Structure 1
């Protein structure tokens, strides 16, 4: 099995893609059934969801002898943030200012430093030195949450500032991020998925692709595209090079995703329904209420 499709990551993908739009809760039996489509067994699913529980991403409740898992508030916020960034098809508008985050975490809290760095990268910050992190994006809310989460208010400083030179703003970008490397990753994605998209679209139109196959391909597509959250900070257009391949990749992802959406959602619903009926509970879900599938006019 492809190591990149590890069980925990796939569970996050399913929560982000489906479960949070279907009442935010799923029976462990349904989750095991869904992950079976990707080659994950009962034991690996139970171990992964247990780790996520201990890490504060999900919580469980019992109905009789059945266990149901739902995203915590922390988990919902992470899924919402990821969705906003994954399904953003255009670069953000820039106010011309930089967000600067500095910290001096004492040695006795060094375990926090590693976690904090990962969170800052996830949020879209780049680093020009060991403890100075920069972003042109509006990340004030994310910074507040990080300070609160790690209880580090006495060890950090946060500024919103104008860059006065002596170089251009792009110099800061080049210090913090390797745009050539990110660009290469986007081109790899485009090369890999352009052909798949054409083939799968044709198969769906001819009725030669099952709902289960569409479900698997949609999850793999999102899983692969989600990796850009960890390498692409989502810079404003003013700070990107001409013909930025990220926009092409975003359009390809959107078109492919929409093509797979209806049959894959139908497959999910069939598996989900059994566990949902165990609770005698109407979660008020809507099959296609995903951010990318709602017609914004």
Structure 2
């Protein structure tokens, strides 16, 4: 597991619920549970500061790191998708993004593509992306922040032909590949869940540190679906969709691990002395 990716998981799953700021020593201790060195963690933290995800402040000889507004927004969005409830019924409309960003702004164009993919848009044609979810306001925020408004058009519209809605989905997303990834997730964690459930039923001792490691790994792996699963409405999913089974497994295993994981985190967690 890469240190920077693990830091996102630690902040998203734990730190943001407890004031959003943490002493660097606590971070290195927590991530050290996964065999990552203090040096590797500090390098990753510095990179996240440069990228605008974290901000630091020093009190005495101690450094504390908190999420920037950009970081908070990204992790809040991620949490809404990871812990999604039953989605609303689809209204039949598509959010469509079309852009013509010049080569002189290639870096911004590439970044916009990454943002659209992360939000769950699929590429219908070159420079044209679609989503069945109402994401127009979020796209407006992103295009304004990148100052590419003059090159981007945003639509909400109905599709009149000729593909069926599910055929349109198949053109924009590789559902077989996503299904296979969900199957692999289930294969990876089903036995761990069943073993833990059996231990609890047998009243066997389970350490809080083990719960922390297992839960963090679970969330860390499940987070990866944010980058490949477009969160399609139920009406557009294939009949055979492993995402439903994977989501149920994630929730059940998470609920078993969470109490011990949080206890361990709070044992290690230190924030700045003037923060409650």
TM class by shorter chain equals: over 0.9
Q: Which residue does the alignment assign to 2:32?
A: 36
Secondary structure in structure 1 of the residue aligned to 2:130? strand
Gaps of 5+ in 1: 283-297
Q: Deviations over 1:22-69 (max 9, x none)?
A: 100000000011011001111111110111001100101111111100
Secondary structure in structure 1 of the residue aligned to 2:125? coil
TM-score, with length taken from structure 1: 0.90
Q: Which residue does the alignment assign to 2:10?
A: 14
Is 1:281 matched up with 2:271?
no
Is 1:178 matched up with 2:189?
no
Q: Quick one: distance in 2 between partners of 1:96 and 1:243?
A: 22
TM-score, with length taken from structure 2: 0.96
- The offset of 1:114, in angstroms, is 1.6
Q: Which residue does the alignment assign to 1:266?
A: 263
Secondary structure in structure 1 of the residue aligned to 2:230? coil
Alignment RMSD: 1.2
Is 1:207 matched up with 2:201?
no
Q: Quick one: distance in 2 between partners of 1:225 and 1:38?
A: 17
- The offset of 1:118, in angstroms, is 1.0
Is 1:236 matched up with 2:236?
no
Is 1:72 matched up with 2:68?
yes
Q: Does structure 2 retain, via aligned residues, the 8 Å contact 1:104–1:156? A: yes
Q: Deviations over 1:81-104 (max 9, x none)?
A: 000000114344211000100111
Q: Deviations over 1:247-276 (max 9, x none)?
A: 11111100000100000000000001xx23
- The offset of 1:207, in angstroms, is 3.1
Q: Does structure 2 retain, via aligned residues, the 8 Å contact 1:92–1:235? A: no
Q: Which residue does the alignment assign to 1:255?
A: 252
- How many residues are treated as equivalent by the alignment? 275
- The offset of 1:204, in angstroms, is 4.1
Q: Quick one: distance in 2 between partners of 1:281 and 1:12?
A: 21
Q: Quick one: distance in 1 between partners of 2:214 and 2:143?
A: 38
Q: Deviations over 1:146-183 (max 9, x none)?
A: 11121100000011010001221112101100111111
Q: Which residue does the alignment assign to 1:291?
A: none
Q: Does structure 2 retain, via aligned residues, the 8 Å contact 1:24–1:71? A: yes
Q: Quick one: distance in 1 between partners of 2:241 and 2:87?
A: 10
Over 3 Å counting, the alpha-carbon distance change for 1:28 and 1:204 in structure 2 is farther
Q: What are the residue-to-residue correspondences of 1:47-62 with 2, within 5 Å?
A: 47-62=43-58
Q: Does structure 2 retain, via aligned residues, the 8 Å contact 1:89–1:250? A: no
Q: Deviations over 1:107-135 (max 9, x none)?
A: 11111122111111100100022200000
- The offset of 1:203, in angstroms, is 2.8
Is 1:198 matched up with 2:198?
no
Secondary structure in structure 1 of the residue aligned to 2:244? helix
Gaps of 5+ in 2: none
Q: Which residue does the alignment assign to 2:78?
A: 82
Q: Quick one: distance in 1 between partners of 2:200 and 2:10?
A: 22
